[in-house]
Each structure stands twice: as structure tokens, then as C-alpha cells.
Amino acid sequence: MTFYSFARNVVNRLLKPIYRFDVRGIENFPKEGGVLVCTNHIDNLDPPVVGITAPRPIHFFAKEELAHIPILGKVILNLNIVPVKRGMSDREALRKGLAVLGEGKVLGLFPEGHRSKTGELNKGQAGAGFFTLRSEALVVPCAIIGPYKAFKRLKVIYGKPIDMSEYRARKASAKEVTEVIMAEIKKLIDENR
């Protein structure tokens, strides 16, 4: 058993008694190959929730400062985390993210870049479009619909992979592709509230 699997089991046992998970669309999740999972961001618990509900291990970006926290930093680095320097263009993080997708693994991304203070979907940043256009990964939209309140239902909805062939063929901008992804996330939210 890998450390990721062990941690996933521990987190699952901690969170399942607190939240009533309603996970839908698992059948939409590709069983193999590079996958970019793009999710809305409403709470600090979003990464572990997606991590325990997705059928495959996920690599997430996380701010580099987390890796420097005593003890916790070493744990975080063993959880498929890709450290990223915030507030600047981090080419190394971009390269590592593309490598994850190129190796046929799953990269999780919160295109908004930060948690929504209102719970409403914010505008996405161009990173989601960048990874989509620079890889052959399938793009799976995901919606987390709260609230994160004890014993309340928490929905995690995985949508069908978005067909990006047209956007890749005509070399669309990263911004345009991100807008397409965000529209799919919004559609999942609106259809499942």
C-alpha cells in the first residue's frame, strides 16, 4: 500500500462520519490515461474530498509554503503534491504538472486559484487552459456543492470529459479554454443544486 492510499483511507474514515457524501458521475472518470480534473473551490477541505471520492490517485498543486511546515511538510510532499510558488509564474510547477499528465496520471486543479468567499463560482485563471492545450489529457469538470456542515449532504459531481479537440486544433487561447471549462463546472452546479 502506498502512502497516498494509506492517507486516503485515513481521511475517508475521518470525513465520512461528518459529511453525507453524495458522489455522482464516477462512471465519467476515465480509467486510464492523463486526466485534468477541474473543480470549483469552496473550502479548504476540497482537495481531500476530491482525493477520496475520485477513483484514481490525484496530484494537486499546493502553495510551496506548506512544504516547509515542520513534520506536516514532509507528509504533504508524499501526497502527490506539486509545490507551486504563488504570486509569480512558476515554470517548474508548470513543467511538473505537464509531466504528471504526460505520464498518464491525474492532475487536480482549482481553476479559480483560490477559495470562493461567497460559495459562488469565480472567474477561472488561464492555468486550466494552459494544461489542456499543452497536453492530450482528458478534461473532467467537477462540482463540489456544499455546505460543509456536519451531517449535511455534500455533493461531488464528476461531469463527462469535455471534448477539447476543436480548441486544440485551432490553437485557441488558454483564456478561452478556461472559460469553456468554467462553463461546464457552472452547468454541473446549476443542474445539481
Please give the class, per CATH, of domain 3-192. Answer: alpha beta
* pLDDT at position 88 over 70: no
Say if CB 142 and CB 30 are below 8 A apart: no
Question: pLDDT value at position 113?
Answer: 86
User: What digits encode the pLDDT tens for the residues 73-87?
Assistant: 878 778 888 888 876
* pLDDT at position 179 over 70: yes
* pLDDT at position 72 over 90: no
DSSP state of 162: B
- Residues in Cβ contact with 15 at an 8 Å cutoff, skipping those fewer than 6 apart: 21, 45, 48, 49, 52
Would you kindly state where each structural domain of the chain is located, as residue ranges?
A: 3-192
Question: pLDDT value at position 87?
Answer: 66
Work out the widest C-alpha separation in the chain, in whole angstroms.
Answer: 48
β 35-39/20-24 pair status: unpaired
* Owner of C-alpha cell 463527462: 160
User: What digits encode the pLDDT tens for the residues 46-66?
Assistant: 999 999 999 999 999 888 888
Sign of the torsion angle spanned by Cα atoms 15, 17, 18, 22:
positive
Q: Give the H/E segment covering residue 82.
A: strand 81-84
β 20-24/138-145 pair status: unpaired
DSSP state of 80: T
pLDDT mean over 173-186: 98
User: What digits encode the pLDDT tens for the residues 151-171?
Assistant: 999 999 999 999 999 999 999
